[in-house]
Structure 1
Amino acid sequence: MTSLQLRVTRVTWEAEGVVGVRLSTRDGSPLPPWEPGAHIDVRLPSGLPRQYSLCGDPQDRRHYEIAVRLEAAGRGGSAEIHGTALVGRELVVTEVRNHFPLDTADEYLLIAGGIGITPLVPMARALASRGAEWAAVYCGRGEETMAFRHELVAVGGDRVRFVDTTQESRPDLKALVGALGPDAVVYCCGPVGLIESVTEICDGAGVRCESEHFGAATPRPDAEAGAEVELELRRSGTTVVAAPDTTLLEAIREAGVEIESDCEEGYCGTCETRVLDGEPDHRDVVLSKAERASGRTFMPCVSRACGRKLVLDL
């Protein structure tokens, strides 16, 4: 995986509990291009790998911009960013990945909860520049906690509805989705409960919904541990059997094959692995429906196999 050594050149206070971090090359050379919905993997000074959506302007090739909310009950990454003097520090950033691309549609509805606004800001900017038909709903617990409010107003004006859930109820999402045309698409990012609610509403209305999670989804009721799975690790020349109570990621590591991972709950995409043969039983919240249907990659931290064997490019 390609990596870059980038310098933190600016840290800003974007909202209560949210800091913005600017990453730049040492010599000012242009960074690899990216599209709205993309994210990068950042290795923090402690060595922790974390994924953050890019929330800047894709046309600005001089910098990558991310925003991080302090999560008191998180896994340590946000606390490290908020508590470390980062300006001037160099961090390793891996190549841009995008499992949340902005596709072509007749109409768009962007729905964000909290820090889930980060991948939607570049989308709003892109849709406005295209002259597309779009609207956005941004929910947060207090106006002071909602980053990028001014930028969204500047980009979308009254197309953007801000909802302070400490003062009012969440808007009638069913009515908003039901008012969309047949070729519309909903993009949603935020807490698991919001995404699952929006997904259910869209499924019922026959409206396409794309989402990005910042946490693990509620386990499927039918997602049993499953039977043993035989894994042929083609490049390593190794075959290993994962027991029903062992994740495929654990089995791969027990075979002595190194594989990167982070969340190990199916929402970060770090352990994405190519499938050469066999049908994965996808249980992640990263891959799109099309990517799942292709069966070319899967997340071994949570997914299993529909059959007894998978051949992997490891």
Structure 2
Amino acid sequence: MDLLTPPPDLYGRPRADRFLRGLTALQDRYVQALGGPLLRRNPRRPLSRPLPPLQLVVTARRELAADVIELRLADPSGGPLPAWQPGAHLRLTLPSGRERHYSLSGDPADRAGYRIAVRRLPGGGGGSVEIHDTLHPGTRITARRPRNGFAFCAEPAVLLLAGGIGITPLLPMAREAQRHGLDWRLVHVGRSADTLPYADELRALDPHRVVLRTDDEHGGVPTGAELLAHAPRGAAVYCCGPASMLTAVQRALDGGPVGSGGPATALHFERFGAAPITDGAPFAVRLGADGPTLDVPADRSALDVLREARPDLPYSCHQGFCGTCEVRVLAGSPDHRDRRLTPEQRADGALLPCVSRAAEGETLVLDV
């Protein structure tokens, strides 16, 4: 008998080697996956359908601070809303068609309504002004389900640093830290007391763990070292605020131990603006393969230039989120300067025009 031929069964019938048969089937599936759709999905699973947008209604509105309003959004039928975790945000589609992202500032345990706070930015892209002027109780809007790009990891020791409206994602984190008995501190900074939203709620959580610091009472903006001095030993730092605040905290954290509480450790952040441009060179962006070509000066971002041509281009730097301005590169060699995209996303053509650029004289063709 050929040694490669499996012996017959008890009834003398030839039988296949089940192990080799299974191995061959696995190999065939692997080969198909390398060049076929199996690499993208399991054919035994049905195609996933995108979830429909949420239909929401404004049920309450109140003034929180100077130029800041709070909105409560609910299901028009009164049903429970999708669950969310601290740090999550909503992507709202406003009546004008603009899309804007806002942190959820309420309690995740409250499934009856979402809460957001919006600061009026007259010099912004128009979204905050539209919300202030047009969204009143009874107004209906749509939103994508909550997403979280600023997740709270609930480390044993936590320092929460908020600048102005940056308190919105950090307030739910403070509640979560209090609920789990973590060693936490929160510092909320702003120009003056009337610019600090949710001051009363923060004090009610634990007045011994919350510091409200205003520039007018302390002679100016705090340094990064001053802010980090509030950190418990070995604390993870969560920071949401203007780019200048984040830069100061990053530099102080990179400088080593700060304050008497010992060194802070990991830094999680959402910024209220793109990082400053350094070593910029002029380049160009083209809107699609056959669209117009726009010059990007050395001292301006591609996002600024793109928004002049496409005012509806999504972005959320002023709301503290990074990554919402993502576009796709069709041609050209970008100089990626973000810390958000993965190597796989970059290889797939993703680009964040708020910070990323190109070499002098290069033209990036963008799918916008």
Matched, 1:217 2:275: yes
Matched, 1:128 2:186: no
Matched, 1:7 2:57: yes
Q: Secondary structure at the match of 1:115?
A: helix
Q: 1:185 aligns with which of 214, 221, 236?
A: 236
| Shift, 1:283, TM fit | 3.2
**Residue 55 of structure 1 contacts residue 118 of structure 1 at CA under 8 Å; is this kept in 2?**
yes
Q: 2:84 aligns with which of 8, 12, 34?
A: 34
Which of 156-165 and 200-209 deviates more? 200-209
Q: 1:19 aligns with which of 54, 69, 73?
A: 69
**Residue 86 of structure 2 contacts residue 108 of structure 2 at CA under 8 Å; is this kept in 1?**
yes
Q: 1:71 aligns with which of 101, 121, 128?
A: 121
Q: 1:263 aligns with which of 273, 294, 315?
A: 315
Cα 1:280/1:187, change in 2 over 3 Å? farther
| Shift, 1:177, TM fit | 2.6
**Residue 51 of structure 1 contacts residue 268 of structure 1 at CA under 8 Å; is this kept in 2?**
no
Q: Secondary structure at the match of 2:254?
A: helix
Cα 1:98/1:281, change in 2 over 3 Å? farther
Q: Secondary structure at the match of 1:41?
A: strand
Rounded Cα–Cα distance in structure 2 between residues aligned with 1:133 and 1:248:
40
Q: Which residue of 2 aligns with 1:200?
A: 251
What amino acid maps onto 2:270 in structure 1?
Answer: E
| Shift, 1:80, TM fit | 1.7
Cα root mean square deviation, aligned: 3.8
Q: Secondary structure at the match of 2:218?
A: coil
Q: 1:46 aligns with which of 93, 96, 100?
A: 96
**Residue 41 of structure 1 contacts residue 93 of structure 1 at CA under 8 Å; is this kept in 2?**
yes
Q: Where is the strand percentage greater, Structure 1 or Structure 2?
A: 1
Q: 1:296 aligns with which of 345, 357, 368?
A: 345
Rounded Cα–Cα distance in structure 1 between residues aligned with 2:119 and 2:253:
28
Structure 2: gaps (5+ residues)? 1-49, 257-263, 297-301
**Residue 75 of structure 2 contacts residue 113 of structure 2 at CA under 8 Å; is this kept in 1?**
yes
Aligned ranges for residues 54-203 of structure 1 at < 5 Å? 54-169=104-219, 170-171=221-222, 173-175=224-226, 177=228, 180=231, 183-203=234-254
Rounded Cα–Cα distance in structure 2 between residues aligned with 1:178 and 1:52:
29
Rounded Cα–Cα distance in structure 2 between residues aligned with 1:81 and 1:118:
17
Rounded Cα–Cα distance in structure 2 between residues aligned with 1:35 and 1:198:
25
Could you say which structure has the larger radius of gyration? 2
| Shift, 1:12, TM fit | 1.2
**Residue 272 of structure 2 contacts residue 317 of structure 2 at CA under 8 Å; is this kept in 1?**
no
User: How high is the sequence identity, in percent, across the aligned residues?
Assistant: 39
Cα 1:85/1:171, change in 2 over 3 Å? closer
Describe the superposition over 1:235-269 as per-residue Cα deviations: whole angstroms up to 9, x where unpaired.
Answer: xxx98999895769999xx9xxx9x8323879553
Matched pairs, number = 294
Rounded Cα–Cα distance in structure 1 between residues aligned with 2:236 and 2:283:
34
Cα 1:208/1:222, change in 2 over 3 Å? farther
Structure 1: gaps (5+ residues)? 230-237
Cα 1:282/1:37, change in 2 over 3 Å? farther
TM-score (norm 1): 0.77
| Shift, 1:198, TM fit | 0.8
